[in-house]
Structures are given as structure tokens and as C-alpha cells.
Structure 1
């Protein structure tokens, strides 16, 4: 058997550990290859939005590639830790340091080569489905047809082959620093009872409480100012939580006889403190990486919801027409005919309302103020299902939008309620109540008065004409086409809400799509870290449970103990990451003053479900591996 065959057989014999490394690497290659397919697709040869998507995908590919370097490095290092004894035996049998390093180099190159080829083949297999998905998410008018991505294959293969060669050389280089006695002893060396500092444990709790409290307390622009300090405090608190506080809590539980001596808790807690201490850095890394994934995807999804829903709230009509100030009546009539003709051609059922917005001088200090007769207001209110207003003859209602801030943090109602409306007969209208409404988009607020009073207001200082259309539900596609045509013909006179939302989603689609892929890569990598740490100790766990079974541990008790251990180790960093993500997204909602509960729950819930499914799969194979040795 040649040395190359020996290295190849080593990979096959250790396929249980290598399979996660191989599949995770292959998935990373596939994602990078997918971005390469997009980047070199013929559709992305021109256009501003397409160029933005191209630049974003190139940046995302760079992020994935850099992250892949550290991921592969960590994966390989974790795998080598479990093979210390094997290396020691080989050196005892006469293998030199150079041969050991060469063996590790060949093994890693072998895995890297097949992972790269497998990722490219898998990417080609699902390329058409991913292109169809991207076509809808990115909202691209052209079809992303399938093509054979020769350049993408070359770039992906050369990039990842170079990455695996660099990692193999680096790992082979650091391997020679181990001493033979350490390699022979391997995991037999006593680690001693894990200890935790009370001071550092308390500090961990205080840091997390302070970070969470600050993030949840600050609002508006202060969220940005507090972001960096909170991230630093919570990150340090997370590290101390896993290295100190968790170990301290487990030791306290072990001292509680009622808990420690209950059923199989002795087996659970006796080993748990060791494993928490050994895996503290892994858990910290998984928690932080998962938090980044949760927060990034949640923030992108929440921001899209904030933008689209904000526009819908501020613009309840399907289309709004506002002519230029110097437009003549003939121009306005021509524009209205153009709009109505397009609606008829597309067979869009829509109701039209027109209003003259009259602005009056109500005081020397105030600018001209919009005053609307009740009948006009009620026509528009009926169009969108708002409550109609019926002010008395000498009464005025102040109407404002819920977000009607006019300057220096004051709401429009605070100004209008303190100003009276003068009439020509010397009397004044006293504002009596405030109504929040989106019937008319006037950020400075306005008055609604009885129709009989309007003639006593005198001549308006300015009069603007506005027309709106409210279409029936289920006509979105036709409205988008009409909106696109009107934007070309009437420029900025018309605001078609459906077309505007379409353009926003089209521009935002690449950002959301890229963020989603990067987040998934981070999350899958975090799960792979847990898999590596779990299966690294499998041989030791088999030996331990084999001994315990001999003294009376039943098969059901064994399965219960193993499952509880896996669950605690598997979900500890994820639960911490979910809490971090929830706090981060809540702070984001405070910054925009917009409720992101639904968006946060959807994102975090989806990741939690994925993690549960991942746990069930890992638990099934892990328990089977342990039970086979009994």
C-alpha cells in the first residue's frame, strides 16, 4: 500500500467525522458557485439595477469565500484534535513529522477536491430552480435562462482549490508543534474539575443585563449611538456566560442533592460541566455567528416591511395626481383623460375623486393653512373606508396623520389646536378635537369645517387641485403596467402606489436575496461547528456508556441521558443567539418606531424550526452510534 493509498483509506475509515466537514464544505462551494452563476449570467450585462445586483453578489461571494477559509480551518483543526492518539501511534511506529504532515495535507486536499467538485455538480443540478427563485425574488423582467457557466466553474474550482491548499499547508505546519507524549496520551490526560470564578460569573450576568437593558431602553437615533457599546458588552458577556456562568450554575446544581440524585441526573451533570467548559469557545462562536445571521436577515426583512408598509399607510389610494403649479386647466384635463383612458384600456375598475385644496391665511405668524369642507373630506373618507366627520356650524376638527411631526419634535395637532380660524364676520372657529386620519396627505395637518362656514373664510391664498383613484382588489399587475406608462408620460405628476412598491421591491430584492443566502451559510456553518464538537467526543462517550451499562443502566435510560446531553449542548448557543437576535430586532423597531414583532417572530421561528429538525437528525444518528456499542 502506497502512502497516498494510506491517506485515502484514512479518509474512508474516518468518514463519520469527515462527512459533516465534507457536506458543509460542499454546501459552501455550492452557494459560492450559485453566486458565480448569477454574476456571469448574460442578463446582468447592463442596467443600473442589474449592476447593483451584480456588485452585491460579488461582495457576497467575497464574504462567503473569506468565511469559508475560517470555517474550513476550524473544521480541520477540530477533526485533528480527535486524532492525536492516532498520530502518536504512527510516530511510535516510525512515522516522521514530515510524513504525518504530508498525510494530513493529502487527506485535506482529497476532501477539498471532492467537496469542490461535488458543490459545483450540485449547483449545476439545482441551478435552474435557483435561477427561477432568484428571478421572482429579484423581480427581474428578463428571464434568467439556464446556460452552461464555464467561467463560473473555473472561478469556483480554482478559488476553492487554492483555499483548501492554503488550509492544508497551514494545518500541516502547526501540527508539528505537538509533542509525542501529548499525542500518545490524547484525551486520557486529566482535565481536573472545571472551576468557575464567582466574580466573572456575576460579571457575565451584569454585562448581559446591562447590554439587553440598554438595547431595549434607547429609542430613535440613540439606538445607533448605543449600538457599538451594546455589541461589545453583550459579546463579552456571552463569552463569560459560556466559560464561567454556565459552569458555575452546573456546579451549584450538582450540590443540590434533590436535583443531582434524581433518577439519571447524576450522569447528566457529572459530565456536563466538563463538556460545557471544553466547548465554551465553540458555543461562543456559534452563538455570535447565529446572532449575526438572525439579526442580518431579520433586519433586511424588517426594513423591507417598514418601507413598503410605510408607503401603503401614507398613501391609501391606488393613484394620486398632483399637477404642476403652472399647469393650465387644459393640461390638467388632458392629463386626467390620459389616466382614465389607460385605466379603461387595462379594464381596471377604479373610483375617481377630485378636490381643490384651499389654503388660507389664519394668522400673521402662521403660514397658509389647509382648510377642507366636510363634504369633500367625507367623499375621500368613504373611498378608503375611513370614518366620516360632521363638525357643527361653529366647530373645526384638526386632522393629522399618525406620524404628523412638523418640526422640533412637535405634532401638527399641538400647533393647530392652539390657533383659531378667523371668519369674515369677525367670529372665530375654535378647534374642538383631533382626528388621526390618512384621508389627505398633509404633513402639517389641516382643519375640517362645516360646509356652511367655507364662504365666510374669504378668498384662499392658494388653491391646489388633487385627483385620486381607488381601484378594486386583485388588479395589482394591471396597475403596475398603468403606473409604468404614466411615469413615462406624466413623470412625477402621478404617484401610482402599486408601481412604486414594485420598484422598491425590485431594487431591494437583490439585497434581501444576498442577505438570505449569507445568513443561511452562517447558520449552516454554526450547526456544523456543533456537529464537529459533538462527534469529536463520540469514541470517549461510547467507552463511558459501555461501562455504565454493565452496572445496570437500561437502554431507555441510556437513550434519555444521551438525548438530554445532546439537547443541552446543541441548543444552549442557539437559545442564546435567539435571545440576542430578538433584542437586536426589538432595538431596530425602536429606532424606526415601527413594530417588527411579526417579522422578528417569522425569522427567528423559521431558524428555530430548522435547528430542531437538524437536532432530531443528529440525535438519531448519535444515539444509534452509542447504542451499537452496548
Structure 2
């Protein structure tokens, strides 16, 4: 048997040890390959080139994360196999041969993980493409194609990744003496200690970070984002390395708590496990926070954009024509023709841009404004003005953004003086400009205007059904005339385009979030099985003292729950604060979206925990 065959067979003899590592590596390859299939898809490039750019960016993020994840996980596995390596050295294996064996093992695993990951992705690629059509809400199908570029890119990128990681992991074995390898993880550990000052600093830094994020408002959130992030990251590191150990040590000194039932077993080595896994917890917490915040932000932006669009555009179709537009009659007839099979209501209003002594105003008549309100069914809001009265209409955003309203007693246009009666928020007109409503008689008297427009509005109750109509009209009527003579707007078609664009962004974000979250959970899974042999010996010894199966399950459940949920709970709190800061930035409630994102990830983690717990307890029972 050659040395290469020995290394190859050694991988298969340790199937249980390497199974989770192999599957997670294969999952990383699978996700990267799926992204590459989409990024190189010719149809997607034709639909929206920006999506392809975003997918390539996501590939880069996943690749960097996969490198860190695989490197750290592999190092943990090598440390758990130190005793095995020590036995090989005792039987005559040199350090060079040992490092060569580990290198070849990593290359073998990486090669097969890459091949099988691409095979699984290739088999399910058509299913994934069909799912993406629904997620992205694309008008054109994404046909199956032979992703040659995706295969080459994935194979080369991950083969390079695993070879590079193999060189890194070999360095873990350098400088280890034979006695250290033989002892492995059974070597006695120093009692973990924590600094009171650093523990208090962790609380202080996180509190300061939270306060800065929650107090900031508007654009202050952008300014505070970087310093708040740095402070919270440092505080989180000390939270796991110092504060957690300090808290456990304090609980161990409490005799009523420590001597209660099985707490003595749970707490006896919990401080050691927290200290050993502190960096892993920190890593998982930060990565999960990024996933929560990114996906919550994407979902929030989509909700804010669509909410603002729907509130500010009550009409299904709008057409604004400047005086002298020769295409006005033709375009209006086109809109009416396309809507002939849909129940709709139509209204129009003339608008004059007038210059006063201090400012410019968009002025409309009382009858035109009331006609628009009637079309919307808002007869109760109609106005009745005297000859010298005027009402200011100001734009009201769904995001509660500040609007500037000119509160003046008198507005003068040449020899015409108008008394401003009140300022009313409205979204009837299709712009962010302030409008002035005057009586019909005064409106007719306004001859010295800078520009005159006619605003045509078409109301449809079931406006979402007019997507195809809007699409057809968009092909015949440009949204903006190059000469500035008219503007055309379709609510359903614009809403459809926004959802398609953000659907693509959400697709990218959800995949990145899924990779981060599953990889973080897998990382905890690796750390759990790295200590499996020690746990098996511990429970075997305690079993002889009368430990029951029920008590074993209880102890294991508590330990696993702390391992799985402490970093995730910290990440969820961080994410909730980050999304609350986003609310303050836009003055828009994201409670529903934040709850949906955080609860979804929490549910996934609970399911993952129950699955791991069942398998882990079963393996512990079998081994003892």
C-alpha cells in the first residue's frame, strides 16, 4: 500500500469524524455553484445585468467566508485527532510524513466535496431555476443550459481553496511533542479565570453601542454606524471571553444553586467549555448578526419602497402633459383603449406654475382638485373656497420624512393677493411639489403663468390586475419625453418592476444569509463533536455513580442549548437593535419585518438544535 493509498483509506476509516465537515464543505460548494449558474445565465443577464453583478459579488462573499469557515473547522478536527497522530508517530511516522498525510487527506476531502457539490447542484439546477423564476417574479423563463463557466470557476476556486487550507492546517501540527500528541485533549487544563474589569467593560461597551444606535435619528444613524459596530464587536468579544466565564464562576460559588440536582455536573466544566469555545461563539454571533441585519435590511427596504409608492400614487395610471404637447390626445386615447375592458374612473386637472414675489407655486383649480377627490371616492375632503382664499397641499411621505410647508398669511401674484386658509397633506398629485388650490374664478384670472400642464388620472380599484396593460403602454408611451412635454406613470407596472428588482436582491441576500447561518450552525456542530471523546469518558464515569438516562438527557440538553443558543440569542439582540436603528433612520416601522426575519432564523435554529440533540444523546448512550 502506497502512502497516498494510506492517506486515502484513513479518510474513509474516519467517516464519522469527517462526515459533517465533508457535508458542510459540499454545501458551500453547492451554494457557490448555484450562484455561478445564475451569474453566468445568459437570460438573466438580458433581463437585469445588475443581478448578475450582485451574484458575482455574493460569490466573493461566500468564497471568503467558506475559506475562514473551513480553515477554523479543520483546525478543530486536527486538534481532536492528536492522540491518533501520536500513535502514528510512536510507530515510526516522521513529522514530515504526518504533515504530508494531513495534507493529502484535506486535498482528498476537498476534491470530492467539490465534485459532489457540483453534481448535486447540477442535478437540482433546473428545479432551482424554476424556483428562482417565482422568487424573482421574472417575466421570461430561465431555461436550463450547460453551465461550463460555472463548473470551471467552481472547480478551480474550491480546489485552490482546499489546497491553500491544507498548507495552513499542516502548520497546526508543527512544534507538537510526542507526549502532547499522546495526551491529546486529556491533558489537564488550567482553571479558567476572568477579569472583573474586562467583564464590566463588556457590559459598558455593548450598552454604549446600543445607546448610540437607538438614540441616533435620521442621517445620524449613518454617521454612528461604524463606531457603534466597532464598539459592539469589541464588547461582544469580551462578553464571551470574560463576562460569560465570570458569570459561571459566580454561579458555581452559590451553593444553593450549584448543589441543586444535576447542576454540579452541568456547571463543573461549563466554564472550561465557555472559555474554549469563546472565540467560536464570538465568530458565530458576529456572522449571525450580519445575516440577520442584512436580510432584515433588504426586506425592510422593499417594504418601505413599496409602501411609499402605494401611498403616494393612488391612481393606477397618470399622464401629465405640458401645454403644446401634440401627442396628448393620442396618448390619452391609447390609455382609454387599453382600459376598455377594465372598470375605471377618469379625471383631469389643469396646473399652472406661477411665480410669486418670493417663490414659485403649482396652482390648480378648486373644481379640478375636487374632481380628483371624487374619482378616488374622497368626497368628504372636497374644498369650497371663497374668491380670495387658497389652500396649500403638501406632500406626505409614507416614511414620515419632514416636509417643508410654507405657512403664510398672504401669497401675492402680481396684483393678485390670496389668503392662505390652511395647509392640507395630500398625495393626489404625482410629485413631491407643493400645490396651491384656488377658486375657479381666480384660476381663470391667472394668465401670467410660467408653464401650464394638464394632469390626467385613471383610477382602478383592482390596480394590480393592470400590470399587463401598464407593460403594453410602456412599450408605446415613453415614461419621460426627451423634450419634457409629458410624463407617463403606471402604478402596477412600476410596482412590478420594483418587486422584480428587490426580488433579485432578496434572492441574493437570502442565499448569503442561509450560507452564513447554516455554516455557523455547522461550526457549532464541529465544536461539539471535537469534545465528543471527552464527554463520552465523563458520562461513562458518572454513569457508574448512578446517573440515570433522564438525568443524562437533561445535562446534555442544557449543555447543548447553551452551546447553540447563547451566540444566536446575542446575535438576535444585536440584529434587533440594528433594525431598530434602521427604523429611526427612515422613520418607518419595521417591527413586522424584524419579527419575521428574527423569528424565522430562531425557528430554524430550534429545529437544528432538536435534530443535533437527538443524534448526540443517542451516540452518547450507545458509547457508554
* 1:554 matched residue in structure 2: 548
8 A Cα contact 1:322 1:493, kept in partner = yes
Distance 1:422 1:339 in 2: 38
- Residue 37 of structure 1 contacts residue 149 of structure 1 at CA under 8 Å; is this kept in 2? yes
Q: Report how far residue 163 of structure 1 moved.
A: 1.9
- Decide which moves more: 350-359 or 274-283: 350-359
The superposition leaves residues 472-518 of structure 1 with CA deviations (integer Å, 9 ceiling, x where unpaired) of 31514323423423444875621112222223333444333222222
Q: Counterpart in 2 of 1:589?
A: 583
Give the corresponding residue for 1:436. Answer: 425
Residues 230-629 of structure 1 mapped to structure 2, 5 A cutoff: 230-327=228-325, 331-344=327-340, 347-358=341-352, 364-368=357-361, 370-373=363-366, 375-386=367-378, 388-391=380-383, 394=386, 397-403=391-397, 411-413=403-405, 415=406, 417-420=407-410, 429=419, 431-432=421-422, 434-441=423-430, 443-448=432-437, 453-456=439-442, 459-460=445-446, 461-462=448-449, 463-473=452-462, 474-488=464-478, 491=481, 493-629=487-623
Q: CA deviation at 1:92?
A: 1.6
- Which of residues 127, 130, 136 is equivalent to 2:128? 130
Q: d(CA) in 1 for partners of 2:379 and 2:293? A: 39
Q: What is the CA–CA distance in structure 1 between the aligned matches of 2:442 and 2:159, rounded to whole Å? A: 83
* SS of equivalent residue, structure 2 residue 117: helix
Contact 1:348 1:475 in 2 (8 A): no
C-alpha deviation, 1:213, in angstroms: 0.7
| CA distance in structure 2 between the partners assigned to 1:296 and 1:135 by the alignment | 22
| Contact 2:295/2:513, CA 8 A, preserved across alignment | yes
Q: Distance in 2 between matches of 1:294 and 1:169?
A: 33
Distance 1:336 1:174, change over 3 A: same
8 Å CA contact 2:286–2:571 kept in 1: the answer is yes
Whether contact under 8 Å (1:302, 1:599) holds in the other structure is yes
Q: Partners in 2 of 1:442 and 1:481 — Cα distance?
A: 22
Closer, same or farther: CA 446–182 of 1 in aligned 2, 3 Å: same
Q: Per the alignment, do residues 412 and 58 of structure 1 end up closer, same or farther by CA in structure 2, a change over 3 Å counting?
A: closer
Aligned partner of 1:41 in structure 2 is: 41
The one-character-per-residue Cα deviations of 1:14-39 (angstroms, maximum 9, x if unpaired) are 32231111111001111111122223
Cα distance in structure 2, aligned partners of 1:444 and 1:159: 52
Q: How many Å separate the matches in 2 of 1:365 and 1:392?
A: 26
1:466 match: secondary structure: strand
Q: Does 1:12 align with 2:12?
A: yes
Q: Residues 395 and 403 of structure 2 are in contact (CA less than 8 Å); yes or no, is this contact kept in structure 1?
A: no
- Tell me which residue corresponds to 1:144: 142
TM-score (norm 2): 0.91
The residue that corresponds to 1:27 in the other structure is: 27
Query: How many residues in Structure 1 have an aligned counterpart in Structure 2?
Result: 614
SS at 1:388's partner residue? helix
Cα RMSD, aligned residues only? 2.7
Match of 2:60 in 1: 62
Structure 1's 193 and 336: CA in aligned 2 closer, same or farther, altered over 3 A?
same
Q: Deviations 1:519-557 (Å, cap 9, x if unpaired)? A: 211111111110111111111111111111221221111
**Residue deviations 1:138-173, cap 9 Å, x none?**
444432111232342233223222221222233224
Identify the residue that residue 196 of structure 2 maps to in structure 1: 198
Distance 1:151 1:34 in 2: 12
CA displacement, residues 211-239 of structure 1 (integer Å, 9 cap, x when unaligned): 01101111111111111101110000000
Moved more, 595-604 or 69-78: 595-604
Deviations 1:115-142 (A, max 9, x none): 1111011101210011112233344443
- Cα distance in 2 between the residues matched to 1:299 and 1:545: 45
From 179, 182, 185, the counterpart of 1:181: 179
Cα 1:106–1:479, aligned 2, differ >3 Å: closer, same or farther?
Answer: same
Contact 1:360 1:459 in 2 (8 A): no
Q: CA deviation at 1:379?
A: 3.1
Listed as ranges, the gaps of 5+ residues in structure 1 are none
386 and 570 in structure 1: CA distance in 2 versus 1, 3 angstrom threshold: farther
